[in-house]
Homo-oligomer: A and B are copies of this chain.
Amino acid sequence: MLNIGRLSALLIIITAVLAAGCTQPAETAPDRETMYQVSTFSALSQGVYEGIIPVVTLLQNGDTGLGTFDALDGEMVCLEGKVYQVKGDGTVVETGDNVTVPFAAVTFFDADSTRQLEGLQGLSNLTTLIDAELPSDATMYALKVHGNFSHVKTRSVPAQEKPYPALVDAVKNQSVFERENVSGTIVGVRFPAYMDGVNVAGYHCHFISDDRQFGGHLLDCTLENGTLMIDGTDRFVMVLPRGMQGVDSAKADSSVVSAIEQ
């Protein structure tokens, strides 16, 4: 016969069994070796500047990377799980969760290799050095260089108005900023040649100072000393604007890439 003692025991057992079955998380953990990209460089270069992914979603898919904001409103630096906006006038703010993103690439940064650097003049010398550190040039990398810089040159762009101009025209209104003796972090991504069009083949680097008061798309720098950290990723996730209607499938030609790097 069932009495209160037995019923209580049964209650405890059923509760324990059901509770044990509930320990799984609501969402599976993100793959930390994934490069997560919003839209394509091809679409951005055509003027597809409408934000499609909120910052809060971006940060669920990575803690380090770069991009831009709805209406091409400045340069994005994503570092240590925070998203910073370097506006067209050079001011830097940490963005809210609901600000939207038309183009970005982020990953959860776990350094595969670390190297101390000293006395490197020019961004091209830095990227040449990094090239020699890469195990392969056929996969995707995020990189950080944290250190002391005797000179950093960045740019940012003001928010654009509809109808949106092509990127090569938008950057004609860029502002260039320079800073001497600043400590901060270069946040970069490197994509292989066969991904040209999906993103920019080669390096794309942004910068943010340690005091989070200065940054932007990195045009040039002179490093006094610092630490290079490289994170290779073997998995790629890309989210496109719905249907890509009205977007041309052609890739941006090389003149666009060189124009935005000056």
Contacts and interface: CB of A to CB of B under 8 A. Distances in A.
Interface string A1-30: 011100110110011001101101011100
Interface stretch (A69-77, A119-127, A163-171, A234-242): A234-242
Contacts of A192: 244, 249
Counting contact residues on chain A (CB < 8 A from B), the size range is 35 or more
A10 to B, nearest CB: 7
B193 A249 contact: yes
Interface in A28-61: 28, 40, 42-43
Interface string A123-156: 0000000000001111100000000000000000
A139 to B, nearest CB: 4
Contacts of A42: 138, 194
A246 B138 CA distance: 8
Interface stretch (A195-203, A210-218, A223-231): A195-203
Give the 6 A-B residue pairs with the shortest CB-CB distance, closest first.
A194-B197, A18-B18, A192-B249, A138-B244, A42-B194, A194-B251
